[in-house]
Structure 1
Amino acid sequence: MAATHGRFIGRVGGLAVALGIGAAIAAASPTAAAEDTPSSAASTGTEASGTEASSSPSSDSESPARQRKPSRSEVETAGEDRDARASERSDGDADDAGADRLRADEGPDDEDPADDERETPEPADEEPATAVAAATAPTATTSTAATPAKPSDPDRSPAAPVSPLATPQQLEAERIATETVGTWPVRLMKQVLSAGWRATAAREYRQISGPDPENLVTLRRAVDEYALAAAFQQQLLNSMTPTVVAQVAPPHTWYRQSVGGSRILYDNPDTVYRFMGVNMTSTYVIRGRFTDAHPADTNFSVLTGLSGITADNLSGRQIDIGPDGSFTITVSGEAAAPGQRNHLQLTPDSTLVAVRNTLSDWNTQSPMTLSIERLTGPRNSLFSQLGGFAIPGLGPLVTRSPLLTSLVSSIPPMKEPPPVLRGVFTAVIMALGLGQESKYIKVATTDAETGERVPPNVLRDPSRNAEFLATQLQSAGYFHLADDQALVVTIAPANARYFIVPVTDLWTITGDYWHQQTSLNNAQAVPDPDGRYTFVISPTDPGVHNWVSTGGMNKGTVSIRFQDLDLASSQTPTLTSAVVAVSDLDSVLPPTTVFVTPAQRATQLTERATGFARRFGVPS
């Protein structure tokens, strides 16, 4: 152990010296060139695995007893043959054994006894969850494609659906992220975030007397999910070994592996989020294929720094797609060639490519397969491994200087960073959450133009967020409703081909949207005869088809997203909102409003759960 620490300290020292000398020389003569390497030496593909997988997201128990929720189906799992797994994992690594090891640790940040009753993802069986991840993890940085595994359950058909998200790289990233959030730096930062977010909420929601007990119970879950998201991002920031990682996802159990949620900042229940690390010193190629009905909206966004500002974007309508649904996108610091459509241009501070598959019909649309390969650029380095290209100021400085790039590339990466080191860098990323949470809560509580506080239960016409949601319009607000009250929202979609009305808690995170109808998009809802849509948001079920449940919460936030905008149209979406008593709904709803029986509601919820399960490859 001492020798390992010594080598690490030596490499960090060498890196610091190289940066210091290089910065001085670069200031006088920025003429050196970075070494290019072929893709076989520094690339990682994440083509969809053929290994069978299944999943069932866990339910969050913040919904009170008055909110009826269908019981979950028993979690089915698939993966490698048990004997094969045992032989491939014969070393019995104690650090990785057991499904419980893959859950987010519960430590000193356990602040509320009521939180202990919250449901968590259950392990699929008693076998080690990491066995499958280890057996399928990539052994080199070249592009890989897994072969189909034998079904572990003899009653399952070999033709059972496989999720495009179930890649060996994804499973390995989940294993590492879950290990990382158990380290002491992350656990300590979770306490800091919890205290900071609680203070922010008391200030920003003072018009509704701050968070209520239900939202205080969900605070720890929100912090846990933010921590896991940061642990994923820590891995992604090594852009010399890029991979495709799905995150901003709910808790799920698959491949004998239980994974916590990583939802943050008004996550969209319809959207599958995937991310890839990039930097301008290298060139990349992204390959993918739509395997069935195209999603309602697809976007490839180049993000800068750690705050997620959009520098470039390609929508699904802009890219050229082959007859078989496949496509290829080049990524580099150069502008697109004349006539070239499938290209993303990087800037000196580019860090990630974010991919959003927005599924309006959960039962027919699936996430596309996706992989990335680094074609040219400097060799992998400790600087890149530690996320150096994402450090504000330093990252762009190195990127702009071929000499500095060459110097930092002379210090090789560690074979496997210690978990505590990953924890330190994850904690640094988490620290940004203090400002990010405040910023996004203010989207709901504050008028961006005047800076004045917005009262609860008021939704304004949508506007454009110039950062992460640069390709969308958004109407955000917060609600405070009694059990017998409802917020009636009427939307004229205008040039938006897709929109969604989701409910989030006061921490801007969704709840159990796979078992409860806490969101509805325009494909799931019934329109009014005039083309508008009327929704009823309430804690209790009013029997309306277009009901958006609050999940039983009396306080929360709403962030209505408008996407796939028709830029040729001058008309933009508009909306109105009003609070009414549930008993008075008949007098304010359109006469053509569609109502449902309890049996029809149950069918609606069953179809919802079945459609969502397709994302994780659960057989119907």
Structure 2
Amino acid sequence: MAKPSILNGPDQIAMERAAVEVFSHPDVQAAMAAKRAAFETHPLAKTPAGRATIDLNLEEMAFSAVVSVVAMDVSRTLPFWTLNLPHRRGDVAVPGTRHGVDNPDNIYRVMAVDDVNTFRVEGQVHDRPGADVSFTLFNHYPGAGADSQSQGLLLLAQLDTDDEGRFAFTVGPEDADGRTNHIRTQPGQARLIFVRDSLQDWGAETPVSLSIKRIAGPGAVVPTQQNQVAAAVKAVGISIDYWLRLMPQWFGTPFNEIGKGRTKNFSYTQQATSEARFRLSPDEALIVTVDPSQATYLGIQLADPWGASIDYAAHTSSLNQHQAHISDDGTLTYVLSLFDPGVWNWLDPGDLEQGTMLHRWQGLPAGGFDSERSVRSARVVSRAQLNDALPSGMRRTTPSERARQRAVRAAQLARRFE
């Protein structure tokens, strides 16, 4: 008998179909259409890359808002896989849900909770888990109109697992009473458990299996589809306004300047990030050297100007410590350019001359994160200057090797839909 799918079980598919049904409702489609003007009049729309990606972001931000309604139904909470590329479920086309410079290395799952019920989450580790697996209690769904703030955090490494890799923890209003496998909810501050399996080796690391059930409390009212449609109409407007307001604030640094990594409490309490914008001519390249700084995980991801990750199935638009060539001194040097620079560590922006990028350090060392060491250098050079500007020992690649790199990447990504 085939093993049940970790990410694509019947509950996941049923909820995706339910979200598509709500998204297809005329009222929701009208709400999405009404937000087109907000994109078209936005300063980002004045750039070629911004104009070219309006349709994608309008649809994916709107569908993500619908998911934030359908998946946050506490009466039938389940681990729902989101922040995903567009895909198909049989005869149903499921739109993407990318926003906020989503990380292709991450399997993002959400589990609805509240502040009056108690929930038990059960999981199982399979073979090799991701480099960093976390369970964060949020007060807001990401993009739902207010910044998501961590209310509690558990790491897979902190949880006891039995001989078969099984683990469990609870979420509820009760005191932990010394338990390490419990996250206490506070009144008005519990909305969801946000799960991230950060996979560095896409071909070998596997997300953990998860289930959730209510074990105490009054339960929750089952919403009607009419109620969900009304909530989705409201959510579409709020979510799109949030992202269009946030992106210029979040990514307001000068183009092609990579700031030092900084720790913050946005979505993960043990993460440091460096936000940046790129803008390059066809004959320019941005060369950046970053340091893992003893973090368990380091990744760099590209996105379009609005924040949707560039199609990472078709492009090497993200790199992590496993995928990239690491220099002898332990640093990672990459090249971002519209042309193929002939090096293994190429960040491919997918023909977009302008966009956003995030550097993420997760699983920070106990002794503290060395911000000054995190980003060593960043500079723009011309295509003619590139070879002389690259550090010695930089791994080069041929067109056939590049084709193989992309093919392997696509095949490894396909594992997630098995």
TM category (shorter chain) comes to over 0.9
Q: 2:358 aligns with which of 537, 554, 559?
A: 559
- Scaled by the length of structure 2, what TM-score is found? 0.93
1:571 CA displacement: 2.7
Q: Is the 8 A contact 1:441 1:508 kept in 2?
A: no
Once residues 187 and 40 of structure 2 are traced to their aligned partners in structure 1, the CA distance between those partners, rounded to angstroms, is: 36
2:273: which partner in 1?
Answer: 474
Q: Is the 8 A contact 2:15 2:71 kept in 1?
A: no
Q: 1:417 aligns with which of 225, 231, 235?
A: 225
Provide the alpha-carbon RMSD of the alignment.
Answer: 1.8
Once residues 173 and 39 of structure 2 are traced to their aligned partners in structure 1, the CA distance between those partners, rounded to angstroms, is: 38
1:125-176: CA deviations, max 9, x gaps? Answer: xxxxxxxxxxxxxxxxxxxxxxx6xxxxxxxxxx5x7631112111111111
> What aligned pairs does 1:448-487 form with structure 2 within 5 A after superposition?
454-487=253-286
Aligned residues: 409
Question: Structure 1 unaligned runs (5+)?
Answer: 1-147, 149-158, 386-415, 446-453
Q: Is the 8 A contact 1:480 1:555 kept in 2?
A: yes
Once residues 199 and 361 of structure 2 are traced to their aligned partners in structure 1, the CA distance between those partners, rounded to angstroms, is: 13
1:187: which partner in 2?
Answer: 29
1:70-92: CA deviations, max 9, x gaps? Answer: xxxxxxxxxxxxxxxxxxxxxxx
229-238 or 482-491, which moves further after superposition? Answer: 229-238
Once residues 162 and 542 of structure 1 are traced to their aligned partners in structure 2, the CA distance between those partners, rounded to angstroms, is: 42
Q: 1:343 aligns with which of 176, 182, 201?
A: 182
Once residues 280 and 340 of structure 2 are traced to their aligned partners in structure 1, the CA distance between those partners, rounded to angstroms, is: 13
Q: Is the 8 A contact 1:301 1:312 kept in 2?
A: yes
1:243: which partner in 2?
Answer: 78
Q: Secondary structure at the match of 1:556?
A: strand
1:235 CA displacement: 1.7
Q: 2:195 aligns with which of 351, 355, 359?
A: 355
Question: Structure 2 unaligned runs (5+)?
Answer: none
1:253 CA displacement: 2.0
Q: 1:282 aligns with which of 117, 120, 129?
A: 117
2:16: which partner in 1?
Answer: 174
Once residues 491 and 605 of structure 1 are traced to their aligned partners in structure 2, the CA distance between those partners, rounded to angstroms, is: 23
Q: Is the 8 A contact 1:501 1:561 kept in 2?
A: yes
Q: Is the 8 A contact 1:239 1:351 kept in 2?
A: no
1:567 CA displacement: 2.4
1:443: which partner in 2?
Answer: 250
Q: Is the 8 A contact 2:49 2:304 kept in 1?
A: no
1:605 aligns with 2:406: yes
Once residues 163 and 254 of structure 1 are traced to their aligned partners in structure 2, the CA distance between those partners, rounded to angstroms, is: 14
Q: Is the 8 A contact 2:49 2:355 kept in 1?
A: no
1:262 aligns with 2:97: yes
> What aligned pairs does 1:136-155 form with structure 2 within 5 A after superposition?
none
Q: Is the 8 A contact 1:271 1:357 kept in 2?
A: yes
1:497: which partner in 2?
Answer: 296
1:473-499: CA deviations, max 9, x gaps? Answer: 111111110111111111012132211
1:428: which partner in 2?
Answer: 234
1:320: which partner in 2?
Answer: 160
1:518 CA displacement: 0.7
Once residues 570 and 268 of structure 1 are traced to their aligned partners in structure 2, the CA distance between those partners, rounded to angstroms, is: 21
1:425-467: CA deviations, max 9, x gaps? Answer: 112122222123321332111xxxxxxxx32111100123322
Once residues 175 and 248 of structure 2 are traced to their aligned partners in structure 1, the CA distance between those partners, rounded to angstroms, is: 36
Once residues 125 and 34 of structure 2 are traced to their aligned partners in structure 1, the CA distance between those partners, rounded to angstroms, is: 42
Q: Is the 8 A contact 2:125 2:165 kept in 1?
A: yes
Q: 2:374 aligns with which of 563, 574, 577?
A: 574
1:255 CA displacement: 4.3
- Closer/same/farther in 2, CA of residues 547 and 422 from structure 1, 3 Å limit: same
1:252 CA displacement: 1.4
Q: Secondary structure at the match of 2:263?
A: coil
1:392-430: CA deviations, max 9, x gaps? Answer: xxxxxxxxxxxxxxxxxxxxxxxx423xx4222112122
- Closer/same/farther in 2, CA of residues 522 and 441 from structure 1, 3 Å limit: farther
Residue identity opposite 1:343 in structure 2 = H
1:550 aligns with 2:392: no
1:256 CA displacement: 4.4
Q: Secondary structure at the match of 2:175?
A: coil
1:602 CA displacement: 1.1
1:112: which partner in 2?
Answer: none
Q: Is the 8 A contact 2:49 2:305 kept in 1?
A: no
1:526 aligns with 2:325: yes
1:564 CA displacement: 1.4
1:360 CA displacement: 0.5
Once residues 360 and 299 of structure 1 are traced to their aligned partners in structure 2, the CA distance between those partners, rounded to angstroms, is: 15
Once residues 8 and 167 of structure 2 are traced to their aligned partners in structure 1, the CA distance between those partners, rounded to angstroms, is: 20
Q: Secondary structure at the match of 1:565?
A: coil
Residue identity opposite 1:427 in structure 2 = V
Who wins on radius of gyration, i.e. which is larger? 1
Q: Secondary structure at the match of 1:478?
A: strand
1:511 CA displacement: 2.1
Sequence identity (%) = 28
Residue identity opposite 1:240 in structure 2 = S
Once residues 476 and 561 of structure 1 are traced to their aligned partners in structure 2, the CA distance between those partners, rounded to angstroms, is: 9
1:236-274: CA deviations, max 9, x gaps? Answer: 332233222111111112444431111111100010111
Residue identity opposite 1:320 in structure 2 = D
Q: Tell me which protein shows more strand as a share of its residues.
A: 2
- Closer/same/farther in 2, CA of residues 328 and 255 from structure 1, 3 Å limit: farther
2:53: which partner in 1?
Answer: 218
2:415: which partner in 1?
Answer: 614
Once residues 482 and 315 of structure 1 are traced to their aligned partners in structure 2, the CA distance between those partners, rounded to angstroms, is: 42
Q: Secondary structure at the match of 1:583?
A: coil
Once residues 268 and 438 of structure 1 are traced to their aligned partners in structure 2, the CA distance between those partners, rounded to angstroms, is: 21
Once residues 58 and 36 of structure 2 are traced to their aligned partners in structure 1, the CA distance between those partners, rounded to angstroms, is: 6
Q: Secondary structure at the match of 1:441?
A: helix
Q: Secondary structure at the match of 2:225?
A: coil
> What aligned pairs does 1:107-146 form with structure 2 within 5 A after superposition?
none
Runs of 4+ in 1 over 6 A off after TM superposition: none
1:192 CA displacement: 3.6
Q: Secondary structure at the match of 1:215?
A: helix
Q: Is the 8 A contact 2:136 2:268 kept in 1?
A: no
Once residues 268 and 100 of structure 2 are traced to their aligned partners in structure 1, the CA distance between those partners, rounded to angstroms, is: 11
1:182 CA displacement: 1.5
Once residues 298 and 387 of structure 2 are traced to their aligned partners in structure 1, the CA distance between those partners, rounded to angstroms, is: 25
Q: Secondary structure at the match of 1:600?
A: helix
